[in-house]
Amino acid sequence: MISKKSLIILGLIMTLLIGCSKEDVMKPFKKDSTAEKEETEVSKPVEQNKLPPTTLKKGDKGQDVKDLQEALIGLGYELETTGTFDQDTVQHVKDFQGQAVEMAATGIYDDTTKQWLKKANEHAFKVEPGSGISEKNITTDKDHVLKVGNPKSKLVLVNKNHALPDGYEPPDLKIPDVPFPFDEDIPKKYMRKEAADALEDLFQAAQKDGYKLYGQSGYRSYKRQVEVFKNNANQMGEKKANQISARPGESEHQTGLTIDITSENVQFTIEENFGDTDEGKWVRDHAHEHGFIIRYLKGKEDITGYSYEPWHIRYVGKDVAKVIHDKDITLEEYLGAN
């Protein structure tokens, strides 16, 4: 085998014979500096944005906030690195959080948000700025109540500020195979199929643990809600009535995803002390395992707009229900609704 040194000498001899330059002879043995630079740049790992180690919320200031803002900008969000956790930053954080089931769109930067930002930086989680909190297809009526554009979604938000479209009736209603304290085939026995099937699983699990639950009031039409609210308003005044019942179009019962439940321990009534019964405590601890949440929590009245109702359960699906239960938050807080 001819050595590298011998090849160089041979090349120099050939240069003299055919007139090639020394530079041409040495070219095969030189490493292209441009290629070397490109190779270095390719092999160099992409530097990740520094993610703040501490919890941050609206009003916070400093370098950690700047780092968070830079991380969001790196994902395509348009905001300024002011170092102040202002409302604009809150909205962008909410939008990011709204794109993963495991995060509640609270607008607060926490450990869970940090983990998902890291995944996004590593391209293990796709982010589309603007798709996490969408108000597309939402209209506002004369009382400034939002008309939701996704009434069929199991995460549809229905409350005093978000009403169902006029005339909405849910599809695929069925009667869940669970006990009721009455025999009549009437609308309030019905729920949407997915929610009804989940309710059957919930009641069976309770039965297995020694607790018997009863369904009391599921689907309620717009027309029926008119009657319910009118009766309550006549008895206690409109303002008080709206603390315990919804105006027509603003009731979750109209979605077909909600049901009021009861037990023999409260004589099959709808009472707050249901939450103190063994059945009520079991529901509080296990409803999320079957996709349900206690919709109106104690101490959250200023957020939900309604009094504590331990009997009122809402179907949202197992993944979302677990997050809401574990964080002890409301559906409004999970969705980032103001």
The catalytic residues are 309
Q: How many residues does the chain have?
A: 338
Per DSSP, the residues of 128-189 read -TTSSS--TT-EE-TT--EE-S-TTSTT---SSSEEPPTT---SSEE--SS--S-----GGG
Kind and range of the H or E run holding 325: helix 318-327
Dist CA 267 CA 2 (whole Å): 101
Dist CA 60 CA 49 (whole Å): 19
Q: How far is CA 182 from CA 124, 199, 201, 252, in A?
A: 52, 18, 21, 22
Residue in the structure block whose two tokens are 């589309």: 128
Residue in the structure block whose two tokens are 């994902």: 75
Mode of pairing for the β-strands spanning 191-192 and 173-174 = antiparallel
Q: Phi then psi for 305, rounded to 5 degrees?
A: 85, 5
Torsion of the alpha carbons at 232, 235, 241 and 245, rounded to the nearest 10: -20
Dist CA 91 CA 106 (whole Å): 9
Dist CA 200 CA 178 (whole Å): 6
